[in-house]
Structure 1
């Protein structure tokens, strides 16, 4: 389990820190820090000897490595066959601490803007295919290479001092320290996921594409099935030349055909009745598959039977991961059968059932909601409580409560949840109210929202001026509601991300304890560290997939469950909230 910032090793002895960075001679330098703050003399390490040094110190002592950027500094170690147990990622921790509302001394961190680089991918980015457009709560980060982050030893020591001082000034340093440890553990896991890769069946992927799109076309040509469906759309619209991949021109043709839409989004198109709508939606689905995960994607991202996406820990403001290449967070269900274990290995897959609502129940200490999810599907429990009539209504109501729905079916159902589960609803309502006022909110462990920004402040101040118009006041109310919806969701989604980090961090350590197996030819593609032991192969918000030798599968499944239980205990103590898993052991990761 990721320890607090004032960590102890597994055997109970005080852990040491080892800060590394580039020295004045162009090589590496390292300084060890004792728990009492005493520093060792700096050690110089030749550029090509860092992996040897890290491996020797890992074997000799319980250490937490302190470095600038796990994405850059861990990948070469993994390639050399060196795994580290713990680290403190200065760049990621800086982002958390400089915005943490509970920190009493953030000024020093904010006075070190050279550390303000955004999250980045776990390995050097490659030109990715077009990913899904970003949304308010799931921003896809662009690949960046530590813009301006210094990599010297002296700078690392100074920044580490600033961070420890800021942490010590926090109202709840234990919680915030756990967040820093979990975030840093996540950075290690992201790098390891890219290094090990996801076992991928190229033939199955090609079969899925050919079945949906037709045979692989020539470069820059459209597949046969897309051409057929496109011809159907044009015929129904009475426009033989309309470019279906040009939203502005398609929009004009749709309106000319009597389909009054403001965009070509799938959601808006589905609201209309017209013979062209069904084939157009089908065309858009095929185009998305071809663009995001077609043959070009397969050529670029899958090598030697492994798909190696680029994860971005903390890439979303709530702490969720993003992806800067390969689209790991958008693998469509129809391609899941391509996730196939090596011969003699299997996939242990686990999803958390209703993670965010259960996290909300634990945060709020809502006994009624906790009981609704005890030993069963939470939405079914909400129906049994009499709050709503069907499972679908329970799901819509809960999503509406967490995302601030006020209209439609979700908005109609939310008041019922307020009556049934007042503690949980009060928590998100208060977070929304604080955000609407321009205040900050925090997750369970202390990740805080950033200030609303000058534009938001300007809109609010304009509405309070003597000459303010009705339009000014409406704009201010709308901006306040939007921010309130954001902060309402932030506290829940961010805490769920923290739970998930603790889950995979604990699981990572358990998997490393398995006895090694004999290396097969196929398993060699996982690299020197992961070809002989079960290891994490995939992570998506509330889902993990472990690639494991068949002989270890049952024990791995037990560890996956135990890690989920341990994560709940670590964050929420003796809370009765359960985090049940849908767990499967199979050759492929297909979903029903």
Structure 2
């Protein structure tokens, strides 16, 4: 019986492909790549070496093929390039192959959009040089990546989790987030009024615009003098004519102003944001057959957090969560990690005092009882100041209290901040690496100050980059844990009818038959424990998950 541990895949036109089976090294041309992969997955469950899961896996899912694990060459290359301080170089297979041969590196191709209808598997999207054998290139790049990973062992888990995340992202888009378009439409109508043609304000917004104009005493004025609440400059001018200077029209600025226009302005801004970002146009564009199918970008943020390509799935307003509803006979199991980043800081720093505070679900309440006379708000401000570098208002004094009580934790992020101020890179728990500062930054901070203004700008630039690296070590390590949770949960759910349908930083959602909800809850809890063991094997920090089973997402919060 042939032993199949790893399969390197090179897709070709019309659904065909070539594969190299390892360890035997046998090359095979197959006319139906999806069917061959399905049969091999069922018999051997190998680790698949894919040029890019984002490009290849959606076609396999459409053909009914689910892969248990893979090594994504593109994502691995991105992690390895960042680790050496060269994150801006192309990470596609053709570029990685070119670097091995000392050839010019082709740029990364643009992402495939959801409206494109490419040839099945869209072969050679990376634009290899003429005459290149893509299977040979993929094998060589894979071998080189394994060599580089062996020199930085912590990255192996990160690459494995990132690759599993790419499979999960494609599966979440394939299954889709259950979405009731009728509930969404009813909500918009109730809040905004009847639907209007694109670009025409709904009745409620139009009424608020008139109310704002009237509050400034401009009803009946020429159109050029009336207030356009969609134009910040128009609003600023209107306040100026009323004898009030405002720096901007941001909500927190407006709330400090005593004027009758403020209340309708704030209401207008809130509803206009809903109309523009998630109104009827969004509903028509993104919801099909009861599903919202966002395009997730794995590792789309330098810290390892995901992004989306259109659809803004990671910024769904609370008002719309009522439209996310399970199918009849199914439930949504929603889990989010309580105060993940402070717990990550405790685990990273080895601060046993902060670790002991993590035993409860509400870390801030325990922290308040330990160091801030029971004031939860003060405890939260102090912790956020430590992780984000804030010192405004009373934050500096609260941070000093935190430093005195939990010196190891505060020292950990302050050392990361100093590294950033000096232009050095920092890394997450699993080795994800911060980008180096730009050449302009180095010129600004490295040049001898010619005057007081130049020195001030240099110090400010250094502090700002230090705030970035201060938070990077925590946020990126939190991403390590959350991504490992996702990867392990995906494995725990293998073979079940349950589907992962949503992932956002520290939150996951599973759509499952109601009868399986209890088993899914147990799987999520087990995945969290496994993620903690893998990412922080020696920690005593608790990473509790709040898991709820609901019919609509709005009830999970």
Q: Return closer, same or farther for 1:343/1:398 CA change in 2, 3 Å cut-off.
A: same
Alignment partner of 2:22 out of 33, 45, 54: 33
State the structure with bigger RCO (CA 8 A, min sep 6), 1 or 2.
1
Aligned residue number for residue 80 of structure 1 = 63
Deviation readout 1:522-549 (Å, 9 max, x if unpaired): xxxxxxxxxxx11111111111111010
Matched, 1:350 2:335: yes
Alignment partner of 1:562 is 2:526: yes
> How far does residue 503 in structure 1 lie from its aligned partner after superposition?
0.6
Other-structure match for 1:66: 49
Counterparts of 1:443 and 1:146, CA distance in 2 = 33
In the alignment, which residue of structure 1 is the partner of 2:222?
Answer: none
CA RMSD of aligned residues (A): 2.6
How far does residue 221 in structure 1 lie from its aligned partner after superposition? Answer: 1.6
Q: Of 199, 211, 217, which residue of structure 2 is paired with 1:232?
A: 211
For structure 2, the residue ranges without an aligned partner over 5 or more in a row are: 117-122, 220-225
Q: Is the 8 A contact 1:507 1:560 kept in 2?
A: yes
One of 482, 491, 498 as aligned partner of 1:534: 498
Q: Secondary structure at the match of 2:304?
A: coil
- Aligned residue for 1:264, secondary structure, equals coil
SS of 2:553's equivalent in the other structure is coil
Aligned to 1:386: 371
- Per-residue CA deviation, residues 22-80 of structure 1 (Å, 9 max, x unaligned), is 4699952211232xxxx51321123xx11101101112213111111111100000001
Structure 2 equivalent of residue 158 of structure 1: 140
Deviates more, 1:94-103 or 1:547-556: 94-103
Residue in 1 aligned with 2:80?
A: 97
Q: Does 2:9 correspond to 1:20? A: yes
CA distance 1:26–1:544, shift in 2 (3 Å): closer
Cα distance change, pair 25–581 in 1 and its aligned pair in 2 (3 A): closer
Shift of 1:482: 0.6
Shift of 1:274: 2.1
- Conserved? CA contact 1:125–1:324, under 8 Å: no
Aligned counterpart in structure 2 of residue 496 of structure 1, from 456, 466, 478: 478
Quick one: distance in 1 between partners of 2:236 and 2:77?
Answer: 45
Q: 1:334 aligns with which of 319, 344, 351?
A: 319
TM score, norm. by length of structure 2: 0.89
Give the distance between the partners of 1:311 and 1:442, measured in 2 at CA.
24
Contact residue 214 and residue 225 of structure 1 kept, 8 A: yes
Tell me, in whole angstroms, the C-alpha distance in 2 between the residues paired with 1:534 and 1:53.
25
Cα shift readout 1:422-466 (whole Å, capped 9, x = no counterpart): 11111110000000000000000001112101110111133x15x
Counterpart secondary structure, 1:512: coil
Of 343-352 and 149-158, more deviation after overlay is shown by 149-158
1-structure distance, mates of 2:187, 2:141: 50
Alignment partner, residue 548 of structure 1: 512
20-29 or 499-508, which moves further after superposition? 20-29
Match in the other structure for 1:527: none
- Alpha-carbon distance between aligned partners in 2 of 1:324 and 1:268, rounded to the nearest angstrom: 31
Distance 1:278 1:411 in 2: 33
C-alpha contact 1:259 1:274 (8 A) present in aligned 2: no
With normalisation by structure 1, the TM-score equals: 0.84
Matched residue, 2:300: 315
Please state whether the residue corresponding to 2:230 is helix, strand or coil. coil
Question: Partner of 2:237: helix, strand, or coil?
Answer: helix
In the TM superposition, what are the counterparts of 1:496-535 in structure 2 within 5 Å? 496-514=478-496, 533-535=497-499
| C-alpha distance after superposition, 1:492-543 (max 9, x if no partner) | 10011110111111111111133xxxxxxxxxxxxxxxxxx11111111111
Counterpart-to-counterpart distance in 1, 2:271 and 2:468: 32
